[in-house]
Structure 1
Amino acid sequence: MANSSPDKPNIRQVASIAGVSHMTVSRVLNDYPHIKEATRRRVLEVIEELDYRPNMAARALATQRSRRIGVLVESAVEFGPISTLRAVEFAARASGYAVSSIALRDGDEISPQEAVDNLTAQGVDALCVVSPRSSSIAALRRISIGVPMLVVKPEKDPLFLTVAVDQQAGTTLAVDHLVSLGHRDILHLAGPLDWLDARARERAFHTRAKAWGLRERAIVVGDWTGDFAYDFATGLRELPEYTAIFVANDDMAIGLVHGLHDRGFSVPDDLSVIGFDDIPLARHVLPPLTTVRQNFHALGVSVVDMLRAAIEEREIPQTTRIPAELMVRASSGPPRGGRA
């Protein structure tokens, strides 16, 4: 059924052809729950046939909603935060929402309060905070928001909606893989522990290492960068007693492998290395990096689904942890000399 009218189709034309009221069409567009599936399907078919595009400004006036989500990103230079932001933008666009975002970086003069004020001034319907630090969460607790807020962080929170990739499960996969290869002495190269994801991985590592009865060893705290890990590796005086290193992100893991190579050590023959994130480059470095994959697409969909439910006063989805996946590649192998 092609639209022969030179004018753009409107909601009343959709309603007339579908045999429903224009209010029913509006409810379908806004995903109201209590609509018969046959009616919803018929309306959507007519919308597609007419190539109808709702007037977003009119919809905002009618619903008193902007259909815009504000996103505060703790750092837009790290792979995890920027991947989460992109996933949220994609999922929001697919749901008829737009996204406004602000990134906080080290040295910025803008505070979390000012960032939130900037986003709420744009009339957002909800806020999402990506990859926060504990200091930012403390600041957000003191701010009166006025719209639903979701924080992408590993633990639940009494004040905010939360969802995250399951950091504990991902870390467990990494440690169990190394143990299955025979490793019993594993170093953890952590991210900055003010970052909630880094803290979650560090805690999960200690929990799983203790459960396996692995040697207790102090962690090394990095700064997420490959340069830090490279310097750490080249600074090793001799081959260490530990036989594997679990690294909190892929950037540091790749820098570590580079540094170990320049120091004259072989990966995985001398030391096994596992990262976290599965950045696109991870499968192309030499050796290809064993790492924990975070499903950012599923995370973005969950963020938008939860915020839409809160905005539209529907039941909040209960999925708050997205499964992680271990990508086994060539950077992990048995401990040197078969020593466990």
Structure 2
Amino acid sequence: MFDVARVAGVSHQTVSRVLNNLPGVRASTRVRVEQAMTELSYVPSPAARTLASRRSQTIGLIQAGRPDYGPSNAALAFNEAAHAANYTVTQAGMRDFDAASLRAAVQMMVRHNVEAIVLISGERQALDIIRGIERSVPLIAVSSEDVGGFHRVAMNQYEGARLAVEYLISIGHTDIAHVAGPADSMDATERVRAWSDTLAAHALPQRPAIIGDWQSTSGYAAGRAMIGARDPAHPLPTAVFVGNDQMALGVLHAFRDAGVRVPGEVSVMGFDDIPEAAHFAPPLSTMRQDFSGLGRDIMAVVLDVLVDEQKAGDRAGRVSEMVVRESTAPPRTGAARSAR
């Protein structure tokens, strides 16, 4: 830094102000300092800057559980938002986890002097475990359930699912089945709750939800189960609200194999709007989640927490956007259905 100051003809304090993008430096002086840095191939030492400022400009990110589309894209969007805010992200990822592995990840983050830790996991167990781990830095969790003990960021899964079911009801469906995600998934639980509450609010009958695992194979099995159980007393539903697009793909495959027309006989509604959803056969109606916005929300809460943890609030109000494509339509009349 002193060499840069000598070449630029300024004080080392001025070089420091340029490095930290602080005000009070004339534009011409800033240019001279930057030119001197280039001439000397000067790269600031992160360790030295950390010692001087007591700030590491580093955030820890722990991803725990299945690498599903939603958590993976939320993590990617958070990384982009963190880098845009000039923060480095130290990451730890684990498909299978327990108390020991999560504790080791937290301890590793603390050793790297992170200023805060972000946890992205769709599984309730990860939050239960990490809440009991002592840590010296704030924790921000992506959690669609308000379980307490940390700052929270989430999409409003309940409202998104409610809108999906309300849409199906609005176009005439009164028998709406649900293929849900895993029981340990907080997002899946919220979507099941919204589906059930919305049907109850309209005094509509409810079939038992079919539980899947977010994968297309489980959606195919769910579709086959609905087809195999049908008889005159238990016909196919007129619509199926599926907990995510991958399982919806499996449902569509099962219906196609059995000759069930979508949406002619059964409408299918997904959730997430993965890039492939527009190219399913037929193109899938779904709820689009804004994972880029979620990543920005996570980083915004991190920054708020680092300014004043007591005053920092949660962000859990972002709602999915409905995308209507060709997999949903009003149901056929009872006469038309029985004539088939």
TM-score by length of 2: 0.83
Assess, with a 3 A threshold, how the Cα gap between structure 1 residues 48 and 288 changes in structure 2: closer, same or farther: farther
In 1, distance between residues paired with 2:314 and 2:99?
36
1:126 matched to 2:116? The reply is yes
Structure having the higher Rg: 2
Assess, with a 3 A threshold, how the Cα gap between structure 1 residues 268 and 40 changes in structure 2: closer, same or farther: farther
Aligned to 1:325: 321
Aligned to 2:40: none
Which amino acid in the other structure matches residue 260 of structure 1? F
In 2, distance between residues paired with 1:264 and 1:41?
72
Quick one: which of 38, 59, 65 aligns to 2:49?
59
Aligned to 1:136: 126
Assess, with a 3 A threshold, how the Cα gap between structure 1 residues 274 and 27 changes in structure 2: closer, same or farther: same
In 1, distance between residues paired with 2:70 and 2:110?
24
1:114 matched to 2:104? The reply is yes
1:252 matched to 2:247? The reply is yes
Identity %: 34
Assess, with a 3 A threshold, how the Cα gap between structure 1 residues 334 and 118 changes in structure 2: closer, same or farther: same
Quick one: which of 140, 143, 158 aligns to 1:153?
143
C-alpha contact (below 8 Å) 1:104/1:110 kept by paired residues: no
Per-residue deviation, 1:59 = 2.5
Q: Deviations over 1:187-241 (max 9, x none)?
A: 1111012111111111121122211222122111111110011122234224734
Per-residue deviation, 1:289 = 0.7
Per-residue deviation, 1:84 = 0.6
In 1, distance between residues paired with 2:273 and 2:7?
48
Give unmatched runs, 5+ long, in structure 1: 1-6, 30-38
Assess, with a 3 A threshold, how the Cα gap between structure 1 residues 217 and 99 changes in structure 2: closer, same or farther: same
Assess, with a 3 A threshold, how the Cα gap between structure 1 residues 317 and 277 changes in structure 2: closer, same or farther: same
3-state SS of 1:86 partner: helix
1:191 matched to 2:181? The reply is yes
In 2, distance between residues paired with 1:264 and 1:216?
25
In 1, distance between residues paired with 2:296 and 2:6?
31
3-state SS of 2:322 partner: strand
Assess, with a 3 A threshold, how the Cα gap between structure 1 residues 257 and 66 changes in structure 2: closer, same or farther: same
Assess, with a 3 A threshold, how the Cα gap between structure 1 residues 146 and 47 changes in structure 2: closer, same or farther: farther
C-alpha contact (below 8 Å) 1:12/1:22 kept by paired residues: no
C-alpha contact (below 8 Å) 1:174/1:274 kept by paired residues: yes
Quick one: which of 325, 329, 336 aligns to 2:332?
336
Assess, with a 3 A threshold, how the Cα gap between structure 1 residues 198 and 13 changes in structure 2: closer, same or farther: farther
1:243 matched to 2:243? The reply is no
Of the structure 1 ranges 158-167 and 51-60, higher mean CA displacement relative to structure 2 is found in 51-60
Per-residue deviation, 1:257 = 0.5
1:1-340 equivalences under 5 Å are 39=23, 46=30, 50=34, 55-75=45-65, 77-106=67-96, 111-235=101-225, 236-237=227-228, 238=230, 240-313=235-308, 315-316=311-312, 319-337=315-333
In 1, distance between residues paired with 2:58 and 2:320?
29
3-state SS of 1:202 partner: helix
Of the structure 1 ranges 281-290 and 106-115, higher mean CA displacement relative to structure 2 is found in 106-115
C-alpha contact (below 8 Å) 1:272/1:332 kept by paired residues: yes
C-alpha contact (below 8 Å) 1:85/1:130 kept by paired residues: yes
3-state SS of 1:143 partner: coil
In 2, distance between residues paired with 1:107 and 1:192?
17
